[in-house]
Structure 1
Amino acid sequence: MTIEIQLFAGAAEAVGTNRVRLTDQDFSAVTAVGGAPDSLPRVAQVREALSAKYPELAELVSHSRFAVGSEFASDETVIAEAELALIPPVSGG
């Protein structure tokens, strides 16, 4: 499975692009989270794989949310879609 992650703001600046991809190979070293149907990754595994592949994003990823479609996803959400968005923390004024 290939998952494409859309990046915004500082995350996009850190890696020099607004989209990155994670493949099965990126998930091979990630801790399995039990019970995902058909071995589909969960958001927690995406978070871990993204941080491992792009260490410059690790801190930001730990404080960010992921969205699947137009909905925020918890770390337990099984990823059955091929596209996610990394939503960094925002503050208003």
Structure 2
Amino acid sequence: QAAAANADWANAEGFYLVLTDQPGAESWPITGASFILVYKEQLKAATAKEVLTFFDWCYRNGASTAEKLDYVPMPEAVVSLVEKTWSEQIKSAGKPIWP
């Protein structure tokens, strides 16, 4: 989790970062993240809202399951940054979909 927490997500375009060799005494040298691609302009607002609601649920409820499977959940600060970006960039007919 230290690698994800120490990474400069706010300045990474599209949240693209390689987490290998991130700074921090607790960071592991080889770390990876999974990415989800979502169109910024959505044709069906209701469907897009449900998709984002699902991923929000995963962030909020999946952390304990991830830990049980020896995965590391994203730090809360990163989740907040991702969801802030959803509210600013993912739209339908020019209107924000999230929250």
TM over 0.5: same fold? no
The structure with more radius of gyration: 2
Q: Normalising by structure 1, report the TM-score.
A: 0.29
Looking at secondary structure, tell me which structure has more strand per residue: 1
